[in-house]
């Protein structure tokens, strides 16, 4: 996308993989990019505004005079006291929206998660259901659900808001998903839950970046709604994990754990970490166990129509790029020729 | 009887399938009724009103699917589904309501509602007689009647429906119906498949206490099974009045009903001879719970009531009326010919039946069957293995105008029995084994034994006559029966049942004659060109074609027992130039080709045509057969029980066609037409019939040898004949620019992805060619429109049910040009029971869907 000449966009949370990618792409597209986060974003060509989204003054300075905001800043861990999530995810979003409204920012893209609408069980070809703060699983999903409702509730003429929910974003350099899988597999602590067959839809980071940039410039009638973004290529969870491990040169998991047992153990560990002063994060949470033993894939037709966006990097190509990044020799499978 | 009085109320919200907005209370002089009424939900002026009456011990909840379907229909209907007084959520008046009361009370209700016509009544169980009572009393409003598993007559001297008898004895009745919920529980247990608990609970909800169940017992007590029963005169009045009803009538029936069995259906057919009928072979008493009856009824209303006259054109094509050369004409003409009609090779020798002998035998049998009481139009089930007896019996029935019922014993005894019973034969002609089943399951009143039957078992089976005796009986009678008319029913042939219960397909004399002509023209059979029938059913066509046929020495029930030498002997015996064989028989031929002598090879070299029919044939098999039959064209037909043959293709044409989107089955045969109905983006075949090349759609077939209709399956016929003159095959495929048809799978098996429709056959063929794959199924998981393609592979060697090994998955993906979400393995792919070759994609898809959603499942 080019021709943004002279227009300014704010990206919050640009120090992460996705936020950094979005900021860099917007720079390349000719936007004047500001990046708001607590530490330097490292994005070449972006003007850092150091601060937290929970600080109204910092936010006010950051949104002043911008044409659009892409709001990624969030607490995305899987454990920890709910109030910490609430402070960043809910109150930070409330602060941001108050300031964008006051500053007359025309467009806000709120980056959300499909987990805001997931209340347990398998999602099979699902659409983007309404956010359910009361029923979503885990503190991250619950607080993001509340925040999404706030964001879409702030959609008004002259201050349009759109929510994008990328599902399981991954790519080279990702510390969240890829990093955890590789680290645990290397330590021999990564089990396969159940059959490993449930289909999981994921999003290669470049595609998520494309979708968020497409959202910034999407037609007006796309605003006021939430869209799930994925590669549209669900794969069995075991196959994905095996390929990620192989592309990083770590052993493929051999240990099998029944899915029900894993969910029970996860629930127990959740309780332990919630009530005891334990370091780090638990080896497994109920949320993660559920995610790995149920299907999660989505109907992408509405998203692609509304955002006028298509994923460009396939899962196979993404895996090949992981291998290249890790320096592991990789033979890409024959590309898909086309569809009927 | 109870004297508890409780006001009418509304059902609680949240009952599955019930919209609270439908419920209202209507006060009448006799009491207050709870009714379902969709008037407030209708967005357009309704065509009319469906007045629905439940039976005992249900309530208007029974009709919820009708209310929903009628509300959303393109041409909507208002539905008023009542809870009868003292039933459901209606008032507990404390009075007993006898049949006459209930009929009068229903009229009172429709008066209060000021119901205007047109009204179609619908009744289930004992609600059927009440709804018919209202119908008889309101001829000015009445536009139609719909009846579901009910009765309007209880013959005296016969006992009440067996399942009800215990409940009709005083003390037992009270205990079964009122004191306990036994009767309600028993009724709800009649559903196939089992009702879900929320639905069972909803049915029970208004009958939770004995005082609320009082009328359940009263209803049973009111069954007019004896002349003294006070409701007897009213029932007789209604039963007589029904005979005078001229309005369209529909009987929708679950055949597995221990209460309202087929005899009650027969009685209603007798009273309403113009009625349309759909009899579900595997549904039960609660037929509207077991099957989607409501959608069918709405379509029926459209055809028969709303657009009476125009929409029905596709259902009742005008009889052709033109004369036709009947199937038995050639046999009649050669009655004085001593030349060979049938040559049967057995062991070292052979038996030859002359045209004269066959014609005489056929005439004797037809006269003998008439003497036994078989009338033109009566149905006769024939269960005899192929051979001279079967040929003679079939032509005798056709000559007599009796309708031959043929079902394949390979269906298995349960499905075979359901099929035969559904066709309602007056007689069964069969070998001893078939008569055993006929006797055990009560197929028909008259049993005729074909072939030897032991004297003792003859008595035990209740055999009325043997074929020999029937022929003897006929030999003593001079007068031939009158010839049947071209548009009379001639045969009911049952489908293989590979896609649901076997369906009866009705052919007229005209249709069978057209089939004969299509075969004669396509394969060049004539009195001058004898043929060899190594695929037994074709031997039956010989007399129709006027051609001599030879049956090789083989076990007709095990086609693979055909040896090359036996075929050569048969070819020599009649100087045959055409051979009909099944693929399994061809395998047998190839396995024994080494035993052939020089003269055998010379005989086979004279064969000009080999037709392989009965199952799909791999090209490799035909290529191998060409070595054995060097001069033969190798033909394969495409067709189905509803029309055969539709197209034909010769091996060189298959090879010339090369790879394509599916299996190339060639061009339409003489007298046949093919078109496709294009699929829309949801995978539904909504297009108008078209012959435009390249358009993917459901394959439609038409021609003079197409079925007349399905037997007693009105809804199925309605859907299959939606386009006048065409039959919807349920297969998908496309025509190419050279008029060739490519079959790509079943409509039910297409995968509808967000990038378009994927048909299974071509990708399966590509996967089957992958190293390590024995066979495969390409199925979809997820909601139509955004489905994912999944390949399920039966690999070489051992495997477990689950994800395929990474290397196999990679090879499979590389072989396909569509994205594949997952590759799974199964040690053995399930195939349908009938053709051990057709992979059961429906079952595999259900398994894949479960596994890939993280559920445990068995294939």
pLDDT per position as a tens digit, B397-432: 999 999 999 988 778 888 899 999 999 999 999 999
Per the CB < 8 A criterion, the answer to whether B812 and B767 are in contact is yes
Chain A, 231 to 290: residues with Cβ < 8 Å from chain B are 232-236, 238-239, 242, 259
What are B254's strand-pairing partners?
B280
The single residue of A140, A204, A223, A227 carrying the catalytic annotation is A140
| Confidence band for B1, pLDDT divided at 50, 70 and 90 | very low
Contact flag B817-A242 (C-beta cutoff 8 Å): no
Tens-digit pLDDT profile for residues B188-219:
998 988 999 999 999 999 999 999 999 999 98
The encoded tokens of residue A317 equal 């190509």
Mean pLDDT of chain B: 91
Q: How far apart are CA B441 and CA B450, in angstroms?
A: 19
Cα(A169)–Cα(A153) distance, integer angstroms: 26
| Beta carbons of B173 and B167 less than 8 angstroms apart | yes
Q: Do B782 and A294 touch (CB under 8 A)?
A: no
Whether B824 and B791 have beta carbons less than 8 Å apart is answered as yes
Q: How far is B756 from chain A (nearest CA, A)?
A: 7
**How many CB atoms neighbour CB B165 within 10 A?**
13
| 8 Å CB contact of A337 and B757 | no
> How far is residue B707's CA from residue B727's CA, in Å, rounded to a whole number?
8
Q: What is the pLDDT of residue B390?
A: 94
**Which strand (E) or helix (H) includes residue A336?**
none
Q: How far apart are CA A114 and CA A228, in angstroms?
A: 6
Contact indicator for A200, A52 with CB cutoff of 8 Å: no
The DSSP bridge partners found for residue A107 are: A68, A160
Alpha-carbon span B117 to B143, nearest angstrom: 7
Q: Which of A120, A122, A125 is the mutation pick for testing B, counting most B CBs within 10 A? A: A125
Name the minimum distance, in Å, from the CA of A314 to any CA of chain B. Answer: 10
- Strands (E) in B14-118, as ranges, are 23-28, 31-37, 49-53, 78-82
Which domains, and CATH codes, for chain A? Answer: 8-170+202-232+297-313 (3.40.50.720)
- Within 8 A of A238 by CB-CB distance, chain B residues are 803
Residue B105 has pLDDT above 60, yes or no: yes
B697 and B672 Cβ atoms separated by less than 8 Å: no
Residue A336 has pLDDT above 50, yes or no: no
A335: contact with B, CB 8 A cutoff: no
CB atoms within 10 A of CB B827: 12
Nearest one of A221, A197, A185 to B802, comparing CA atoms = A197
Residue B147: the pLDDT is 98
Q: What are phi and psi of B624, to 5 degrees?
A: -65, -35
* Residue A133 vs residues A149, A161, A263, B364, B684: alpha-carbon distances, Å: 9, 19, 22, 84, 38
Q: Which of B785, B803, B809 sits opposite A196 (nearest CB)?
A: B803
C-alpha–C-alpha distance, residues B108 and B127, integer Å: 16
3-state secondary structure B142-173: EEEEEEEEECCCCCCCCCCCHHHHHHHCHHHH
- Of the two residues B496 and B577, the one the predictor is more confident about is B577
pLDDT (0 to 100) of residue B166: 67
In the predicted model, what is the mean pLDDT of residues B786-809? 93
Is the Cβ pair A235, B821 closer than 8 Å? Answer: yes
Question: Which is higher by pLDDT, B419 or A268?
Answer: B419
Q: Give the pLDDT band (50/70/90) at residue A278.
A: low
Q: What are the beta bridge partners of residue A203?
A: A169
Contact between residue B643 and residue B705 where contact means Cβ atoms under 8 Å apart:
yes
Q: How confident is the model at residue A151 (pLDDT cuts 50, 70, 90)?
A: very high
* Minimum-distance CB partner of B786 among A122, A196, A301: A301
Neighbours of B581 (CB within 10 A): 27
* The pLDDT of residue B175: 79
pLDDT at A116: 92
- pTM of the predicted model as reported, rounded to 2 decimal places: 0.88
Compute the distance between CA of residue B379 and CA of residue B28 in angstroms, rounded to an integer. 50
Tokens of B582: 């099944």
Give CA–CA dist B730/B752, Å, rounded.
16
Interface of A with B in 124-163 (CB under 8 A): 124-125
Beta bridge partners of A160: A107
> Which of A129, A194, A195, A289 is best to mutate for the B interface (most B CBs within 10 A)?
A195
Q: Where are the alpha helices (DSSP H) in chain A?
A: 17-28, 56-63, 82-85, 92-103, 138-153, 177-186, 205-216, 237-247, 259-275, 286-293, 301-307, 315-326
B549, B318 contact by CB (below 8 A): no
Say which range, A87-91, A262-266, B99-103, B320-324, has the weakest mean pLDDT: A262-266
Q: Are B540 and B386 in contact (CB under 8 A)?
A: yes
Give the chain B residue whose CA is nearest to the CA of A127: B786
Tell me what percent of the residues of chain A surpass a pLDDT of 90. Answer: 66
Q: Which is higher by pLDDT, B546 or A258?
A: B546
Q: Given a cut of 90, is residue A294 above it in pLDDT?
A: no
Residue A3 has pLDDT above 70, yes or no: no
**Closest-CA residue of chain B to A235:** B821
Q: Which of B848, B852, B859 to mutate to test the interface with A (most CBs of A within 10 A)?
A: B852
Which candidate, B390, B396, B472, B462, places its Cα nearest to that of B431?
B390
Mean pLDDT of A289-297: 83
pLDDT surpasses 80 at B252: yes
> How many CA atoms within 13 Å lie on the side-chain side of A291?
19
Q: Do residue A125 and residue B783 have CB atoms under 8 angstroms apart?
A: yes
Distance of alpha carbon B243 from the chain centroid = 29
| Interchain CB contact of B762 with A (< 8 Å) | no
Among residues of chain B, what percentage have pLDDT more than 70?
96
- A54's tokens: 């929970």
Distance CA B796, CA B801 (A): 13
Quick one: which of B576, B649, B654 has its CA closest to B611? B649
d(CA A278, CA B834): 62
Select the residue from B854, B856, B858 to test the A interface by mutation, using most A Cβ atoms within 10 A.
B854
Residues of A in contact with B697 (CB under 8 A): none
CB of A178 within 8 Å of a chain B CB? The answer is no
pLDDT for res B430: 95
The reply to whether residue B822 touches residue A297, judged by beta carbons under 8 angstroms, is no
> What CA–CA distance (Å, rounded) separates B856 from B548?
58
Tens digit of each residue's pLDDT (9 = 90 or more) over B116-164:
889 999 999 999 999 999 999 999 999 999 999 999 887 765 656 666 6
What is the structure's pLDDT at B353? 96
Q: How far is CA A320 from CA A130, A173, A202, B804, in A?
A: 35, 14, 15, 21
In this structure, the strands spanning B633-640 and B643-650 are antiparallel
User: How far is the alpha carbon of A130 from chain B, nearest alpha carbon, in Å?
Assistant: 19
Residue B46: alpha-carbon gap to chain centroid: 33
Residue B117 contacts A, CB cutoff 8 Å: no
Chain A interface includes B815 (CB < 8 A): no
Contact B852 A196 (CB under 8 A): no
Q: How far is residue B846's CA from residue B70's CA, in Å, rounded to a whole number?
A: 31
Best CA proximity match to B382, nearest among B324, B438, B304: B438
| Token pair of B620 as six digits | 């490799």
Residue B752 and residue B681 in contact, taking contact as beta carbons nearer than 8 Å: yes
To the nearest whole Å, the CA of B385 is away from the closest chain A CA by 47
Q: How far is CA A287 from CA A78, A121, A143, A263, A265, in A?
A: 8, 11, 15, 8, 11
- Distances from the Cα of B454 to the Cα of B39, B97, B222, B448, angstroms: 67, 57, 49, 13
Cβ–Cβ contact A299 with B under 8 A: yes
Q: Is the peptide bond before B57 cis (omega within 30 degrees of 0)?
A: yes
CA nearest to B839, candidates B777, B787, B766, B767: B777
Where does residue A204 fall: left (phi above 0), alpha (psi -120 to 50 degrees), or beta otherwise? beta
Of A233, A299, A339, which is closest to B783 when you measure between CB atoms?
A299
Pairing outcome for strands B465-466 and A235-236: unpaired
String of DSSP letters for B477-514: --PPPPPPPTTSEEEEEE---SSSS--EEEEEHHHHHH
Model confidence pLDDT, tens digit, residues B625-684:
999 999 999 999 999 999 999 999 999 999 999 888 889 999 999 999 999 999 998 899
CB distance B822–A235 less than 8 Å? yes
Band of the pLDDT at A244, cuts 50, 70, 90?
very high
Q: What 8-state DSSP symbol labels residue B309?
A: T
Report CB contact under 8 Å: B819, A339: yes
Using alpha carbons, select from B422, B435, B433, B423 the residue that is nearest to residue B464.
Answer: B435
pLDDT of B227: 81
Query: Is A85 marked active-site?
Result: no
> pLDDT digits over A31-51, tens only?
999 999 999 999 999 999 999
Question: According to the model, what pLDDT value does residue A227 have?
Answer: 97
**What is the spatial distance between Cα B195 and Cα B284, in angstroms, rounded to a whole number?**
12
Question: Are A333 and B802 an interchain contact pair (Cβ–Cβ within 8 Å)?
Answer: no
Q: Is the predicted pLDDT of residue B2 greater than 50, yes or no?
A: no
- A171/chain B closest Cα distance in angstroms: 20
Facing residue for B854 by CB, picked from A198, A232, A340? A198
CB atoms within 10 A of CB B334: 19
Cα dist. B285→A285, B291, B577, B593, B827 in Å? 50, 11, 55, 56, 39
Decide if pLDDT at B791 tops 80. Answer: yes
Q: What confidence score (pLDDT) does residue A281 get? A: 67
Confirm or reject contact between B297 and chain A (CB < 8 A): no
- Distance, in angstroms, between B802 CA and closest chain A CA? 7
B786 vs A: CB within 8 A: yes
Cα four-point dihedral sign B717, B719, B725, B726: negative
Instruction: Give the pLDDT confidence of B755-768 residue by residue, as tens digits.
Output: 999 999 999 999 99
Report how far residue B355's alpha carbon sits from residue A157's, in angstroms, rounded to the nearest whole number. 92
pLDDT of residue A255: 73
Question: Could you tell me if B783 lies within 8 Å of chain A, comparing CB atoms?
Answer: yes
């Amino acid at each position: 996308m080019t021709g943004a000449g002279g227009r300014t966009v704010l990206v919050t949370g640009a120090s992460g993989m996705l936020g950094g990618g979005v900021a860099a792409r917007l720079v390349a597209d000719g936007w004047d990019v500001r990046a708001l986060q607590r530490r330097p974003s490292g994005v070449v060509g972006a003007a850092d505004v150091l601060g937290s989204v929970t600080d109204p003054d910092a936010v006010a300075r950051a949104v002043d005079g911008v044409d659009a905001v892409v709001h990624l800043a969030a607490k995305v861990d899987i454990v920890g006291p709910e109030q910490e999530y609430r402070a960043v995810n809910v109150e930070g979003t409330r602060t941001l929206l108050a300031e964008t409204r006051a500053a007359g920012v025309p467009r806000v893209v709120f980056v959300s998660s499909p987990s805001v609408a997931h209340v347990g069980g398998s999602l099979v070809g699902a659409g983007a259901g309404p956010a359910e703060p009361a029923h979503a699983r885990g503190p991250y999903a619950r607080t993001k659900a509340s925040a999404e409702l706030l964001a879409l509730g702030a959609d008004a003429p002259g201050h349009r808001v759109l929510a994008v929910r990328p599902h399981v974003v991954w790519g080279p350099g990702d510390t969240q998903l890829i990093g955890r899988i590789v680290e645990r597999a290397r330590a021999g602590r990564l089990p396969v839950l159940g059959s490993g067959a449930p289909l999981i839809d994921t999003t290669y980071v470049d595609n998520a970046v494309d979708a968020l940039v497409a959202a910034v410039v999407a037609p007006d009638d796309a605003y006021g709604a939430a869209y799930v973004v994925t590669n549209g290529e669900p794969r069995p969870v075991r196959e994905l994990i095996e390929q990620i491990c192989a592309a990083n040169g770590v052993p493929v998991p051999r240990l099998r754990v029944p899915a029900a047992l894993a969910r029970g153990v996860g629930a127990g560990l959740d309780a332990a970490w919630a009530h005891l002063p334990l370091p780090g994060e638990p080896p497994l949470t109920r949320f993660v166990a559920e995610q790995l033993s149920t299907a999660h894939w989505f109907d992408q037709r509405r998203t692609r129509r509304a955002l006028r966006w298509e994923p460009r990097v396939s899962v196979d190509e993404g895996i090949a790029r992981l291998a290249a990044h890790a320096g592991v020799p990789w033979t890409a499978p024959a590309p898909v020729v086309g569809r009927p | 009887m109870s004297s508890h009085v409780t006001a009418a109320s509304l059902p609680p919200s949240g009952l599955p399938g019930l919209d609270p907005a439908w419920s209202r209370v209507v006060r009448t002089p006799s009491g207050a009724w709870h009714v379902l009424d969709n008037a407030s939900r209708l967005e357009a002026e309704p065509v009319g009103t469906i007045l629905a009456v439940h039976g005992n011990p249900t309530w208007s909840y029974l009709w919820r699917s009708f209310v929903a379907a009628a509300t959303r229909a393109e041409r909507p209907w208002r539905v008023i589904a009542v809870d009868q007084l003292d039933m459901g959520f209606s008032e507990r008046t404390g009075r007993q309501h006898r049949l006459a009361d209930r009929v009068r009370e229903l009229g009172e209700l429709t008066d209060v509602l000021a119901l205007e016509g047109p009204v179609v009544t619908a009744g289930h169980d004992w609600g059927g007689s009440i709804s018919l009572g209202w119908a008889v009393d309101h001829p000015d409003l009445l536009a139609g009647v719909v009846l579901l598993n009910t009765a309007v007559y209880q013959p005296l001297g016969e006992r009440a429906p067996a399942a009800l008898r215990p409940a009709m004895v005083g003390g037992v009745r009270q205990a079964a119906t009122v004191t306990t919920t036994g009767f309600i529980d028993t009724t709800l247990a009649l559903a196939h498949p089992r009702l879900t608990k929320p639905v069972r609970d909803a049915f029970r909800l208004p009958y939770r206490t004995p005082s609320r169940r009082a009328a359940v017992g009263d209803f049973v007590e009111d069954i007019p099974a004896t002349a003294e029963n006070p409701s007897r005169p009213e029932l007789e009045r209604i039963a007589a009045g029904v005979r005078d009803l001229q309005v369209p009538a529909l009987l929708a029936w679950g055949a597995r009903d221990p209460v309202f069995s087929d005899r009650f259906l027969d009685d209603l057919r007798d009273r309403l001879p113009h009625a349309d009928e759909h009899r579900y072979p595997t549904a039960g008493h609660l037929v509207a719970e077991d099957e989607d009856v409501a959608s069918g009824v709405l379509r029926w209303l459209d055809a028969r009531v709303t657009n009476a006259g125009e929409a029905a054109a596709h259902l009742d094509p005008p009889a052709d009326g033109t004369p036709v050369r009947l199937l038995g004409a050639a046999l009649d003409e050669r009655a004085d010919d001593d030349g060979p009609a049938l040559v049967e090779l057995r062991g070292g020798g052979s038996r030859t039946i002359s045209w004269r002998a066959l014609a005489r035998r056929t005439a004797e049998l037809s006269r003998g069957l008439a003497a036994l009481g078989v009338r033109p139009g009566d149905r006769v089930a024939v269960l005899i293995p192929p051979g001279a007896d079967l040929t003679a019996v079939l032509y005798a029935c056709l000559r007599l105008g009796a309708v031959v019922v043929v079902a394949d014993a390979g269906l298995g005894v349960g499905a075979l029995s359901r099929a035969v019973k559904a066709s309602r034969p007056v007689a069964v002609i069969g070998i001893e084994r078939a008569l055993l089943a006929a006797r055990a399951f009560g197929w028909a009143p008259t049993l005729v034994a074909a072939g030897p039957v032991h004297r003792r078992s003859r008595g035990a089976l209740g055999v009325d006559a043997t074929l020999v005796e029937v022929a003897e009986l006929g030999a003593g009678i001079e007068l031939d029966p009158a010839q049947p008319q071209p548009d009379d029913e001639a045969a009911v042939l049952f489908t293989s049942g590979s896609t649901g219960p076997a369906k009866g397909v009705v052919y007229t004399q005209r249709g069978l004659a057209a089939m004969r002509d299509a075969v004669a023209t396509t394969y060049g059979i004539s009195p001058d060109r004898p043929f060899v029938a190594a695929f037994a059913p074709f031997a039956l066509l010989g007399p129709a074609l006027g051609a001599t046929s030879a049956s090789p020495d083989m076990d007709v029930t095990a086609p693979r027992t055909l040896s090359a030498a036996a075929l050569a002997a048969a070819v020599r015996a009649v100087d045959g130039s055409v051979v009909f064989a099944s693929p399994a028989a061809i395998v047998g031929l190839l396995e024994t080709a080494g035993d052939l002598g020089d003269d055998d090879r010379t005989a086979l070299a004279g064969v000009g045509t080999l037709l392989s029919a009965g199952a799909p044939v791999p090209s490799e098999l035909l290529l191998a057969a060409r070595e054995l039959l060097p001069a033969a064209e190798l033909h394969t037909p495409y067709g189905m029980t509803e029309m055969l043959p539709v197209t034909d293709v010769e091996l060189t044409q298959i090879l010339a066609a090369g790879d394509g989107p599916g299996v190339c089955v060639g061009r339409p045969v003489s007298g046949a037409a093919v078109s496709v109905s294009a699929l829309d983006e949801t995978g539904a075949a909504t297009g108008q019939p078209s012959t435009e090349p390249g358009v993917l759609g459901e394959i439609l077939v038409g021609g003079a040898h197409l079925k007349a209709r399905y037997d007693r399956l009105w809804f199925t016929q309605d859907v299959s004949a939606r386009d006048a003159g065409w039959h919807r095959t349920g297969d998908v495929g496309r025509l190419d620019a050279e008029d060739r048809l490519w079959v790509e799978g079943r409509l039910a098996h297409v995968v509808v992805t967000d990038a378009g429709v994927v048909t299974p056959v071509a990708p399966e063929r590509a996967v089957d060619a992958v190293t390590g794959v024995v066979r495969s199924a390409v199925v979809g998981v997820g909601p139509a429109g955004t489905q994912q393609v999944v390949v399920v592979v039966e690999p070489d060697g051992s495997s477990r049910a689950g994800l395929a090994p990474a290397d196999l998955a990679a090879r499979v993906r590389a072989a396909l040009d569509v994205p594949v979400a997952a590759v799974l393995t199964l040690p053995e792919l399930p195939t349908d029971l009938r053709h051990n070759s057709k992979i059961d994609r429906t079952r595999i898809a259900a398994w894949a869907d479960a596994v890939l959603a993280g559920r445990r499942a068995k294939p």
